[in-house]
């Protein structure tokens, strides 16, 4: 089992986190871990993101990763802060090779057959299908997964509480990325833990 596959199998949902205040980091991470979602994707979309990763890395039982990683500078900053896996919106050879050289699991975004073929050329077989809904949704991923039967996916982008079970029912899907678990803003720990428990209990094919 590859390292990134281990991350994807931790829970049915990887929370996609956009956090503006580092003071919210540990309460959010603690609430998610308590609810059964240990893999935490902190997107590098806010000035506080690197500090948020550093704070979440201190939470026992959690595995914090960095999302929206665009280049080697982002990659190195995230690793230095304590990120244990990397998620990217797209797939580039340079960034993928840099992650492999640094021995950190990478889950790159793909939306086309060409994207997947480039990933396979680099030795990858696990991908983020992104943006999932606007790239054709479930019918598109089914069509892509047929020729790339050896690949497994984490659909992200537009996946919500209504559609998550449909995505997880696909043979090619190990988990999904979801932003509904933690709304942006000051955290309500009890509500986050409740949503996390519901997400952690979702059935999946694999």
190 in active site? no
Percent of the chain with pLDDT over 90: 98
User: Rounded distance, CA 78 to CA 53, Å?
Assistant: 7
Residue 120 DSSP code: H
- pLDDT tens by residue, 120-177: 999 999 999 999 999 999 999 999 999 999 999 999 999 999 999 999 999 999 999 9
Name the percent of the chain lying above pLDDT 70.
99
Q: Which residues are CB-contacts of 72 (< 8 A; sequence separation ≥ 6)?
A: 94, 95, 98
Report the pLDDT value the prediction gives residue 205, as an integer from 0 to 100.
Answer: 86
Per residue in 48-61, pLDDT tens?
999 999 999 999 99
Confidence of residue 2 (pLDDT cuts 50, 70, 90): low
Question: Quick one: how far is CA 204 from the chain centroid?
Answer: 16
CA contacts within 13 A on the Cβ side of 31: 21
**Residue 41 is among the residues annotated as catalytic for this protein:** yes
DSSP line for 171-184? TTBS-EEESTTS-S
Q: What whole-number distance in Å separates Cα of residue 108 and Cα of residue 123?
A: 12
Catalytic residue (choose from 30, 55, 128, 133): 128
pTM of the prediction?
0.96
CB 204 within 8 A of CB 183: no
Q: Which domains does the chain have, with CATH numbers?
A: 3-200 (3.20.20.70)
Q: Is residue 1's pLDDT more than 90?
A: no
Is residue 35's pLDDT more than 70?
Answer: yes
How sure is the predictor about 203, in pLDDT bands with cuts at 50, 70 and 90? very high
Please report which helix (H) or strand (E) contains residue 88, including its range: strand 86-88
Alpha-carbon gap, residue 39 to 151, rounded angstroms: 20
Marked catalytic residue, from 30, 41, 55, 133: 41
């Amino acid at each position: 089992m590859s390292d990134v596959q281990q991350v994807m199998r931790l829970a049915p949902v990887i929370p996609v986190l956009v956090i503006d205040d580092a003071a919210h980091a540990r309460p959010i991470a603690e609430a998610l871990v308590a609810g059964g979602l240990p893999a935490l994707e902190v997107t590098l979309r806010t000035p506080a993101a690197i500090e948020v990763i550093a704070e979440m890395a201190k939470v026992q039982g959690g595995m914090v990763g960095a999302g929206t990683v665009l280049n080697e500078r982002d990659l190195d900053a995230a690793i230095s802060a304590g990120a244990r896996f990397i998620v990217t919106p797209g797939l580039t050879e340079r960034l993928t090779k840099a992650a492999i050289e640094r021995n950190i699991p990478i889950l790159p975004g793909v939306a086309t057959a060409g994207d997947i073929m480039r990933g396979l050329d680099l030795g990858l077989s696990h991908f983020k299908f992104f943006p999932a809904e606007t790239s054709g949704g479930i019918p598109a991923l089914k069509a892509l997964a047929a020729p790339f039967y050896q690949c497994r996916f984490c659909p992200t982008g537009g996946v919500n509480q209504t559609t998550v079970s449909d995505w997880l029912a696909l043979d090619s899907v190990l988990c999904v990325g979801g932003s509904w678990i933690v709304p942006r803003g000051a955290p309500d720990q009890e509500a986050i833990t409740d949503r996390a428990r519901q997400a952690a209990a979702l059935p999946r094919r694999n």
